[in-house]
C-alpha cells in the first residue's frame, strides 16, 4: 500500500500534525527508528517544521550511525521553500516514524 491508497489517513491532507493520530487510529505501526520507505513525521515546531502544521518526508536510506537520508518537499526556508530536497538527519530529530502496513521488518538500530 502506498501513501495514495484510499485508506491512508494522510491522503490529501496538508495538516501534517494529524498524520500520526490518523496512523494510530488505523492501528498502523509507528516507532522511533528510521526504516527505508517510512514516513518521517515532525510534530509542529519540531526539527524546523512549521509551527502550526508540522512536516512529513520519506526515509530514503539509513546510515550506520543511525542518521538517515530524508527526501521531501517544502522543507527548506524561504525563498527555497517550494522545492524538493534531500538531507541527512540525526535520528533523534523527528517526532516519529510512520511505517506502512505490512512493513514488519525489524527496526533498524
pLDDT digits (tens, 9 = 90+) for 8-21: 555 445 567 788 98
3-class state of residue 71 by DSSP: strand
> The C-alpha cell of 11 is what?
491522503
> The C-alpha cell of 91 is what?
535520528
Query: What predicted TM-score, i.e. pTM, was given to this entire model?
Result: 0.78
Res. 54: pLDDT tops 90: no
Give the model's confidence band at 80: pLDDT under 50 very low, under 70 low, under 90 confident, else very high.
Answer: confident
> The C-alpha cell of 38 is what?
517510512
Please calculate the CA angle 94-22-62 and round it to the nearest 5 degrees: 30
Minimal CA–CA distance to 89: which of 47, 52, 32? 47
3-class state of residue 86 by DSSP: strand
As a dihedral over the C-alpha atoms of residue 9, residue 93, residue 75, residue 10, rounded to 10 degrees, the angle is 0
Average pLDDT over residues 36-50: 89
Cα–Cα dist 1/30, whole Å:
16
Amino acid at each position: 500500500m502506498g501513501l495514495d491508497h484510499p485508506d491512508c489517513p494522510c491522503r490529501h491532507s496538508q495538516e501534517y500534525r494529524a498524520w500520526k493520530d490518523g496512523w494510530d487510529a488505523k492501528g498502523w505501526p509507528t516507532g522511533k527508528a528510521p526504516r527505508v520507505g517510512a514516513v518521517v513525521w515532525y510534530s509542529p515546531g519540531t526539527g524546523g517544521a512549521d509551527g502550526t502544521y508540522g512536516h512529513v518526508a520519506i526515509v530514503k536510506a539509513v546510515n550506520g550511525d543511525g542518521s538517515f537520508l530524508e527526501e521531501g518537499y517544502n522543507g527548506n526556508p524561504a525563498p527555497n521553500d517550494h522545492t524538493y530536497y534531500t538531507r541527512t538527519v540525526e535520528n533523534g530529530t523527528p517526532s516519529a516514524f510512520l511505517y506502512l502496513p505490512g512493513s514488519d521488518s525489524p527496526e533498524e538500530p
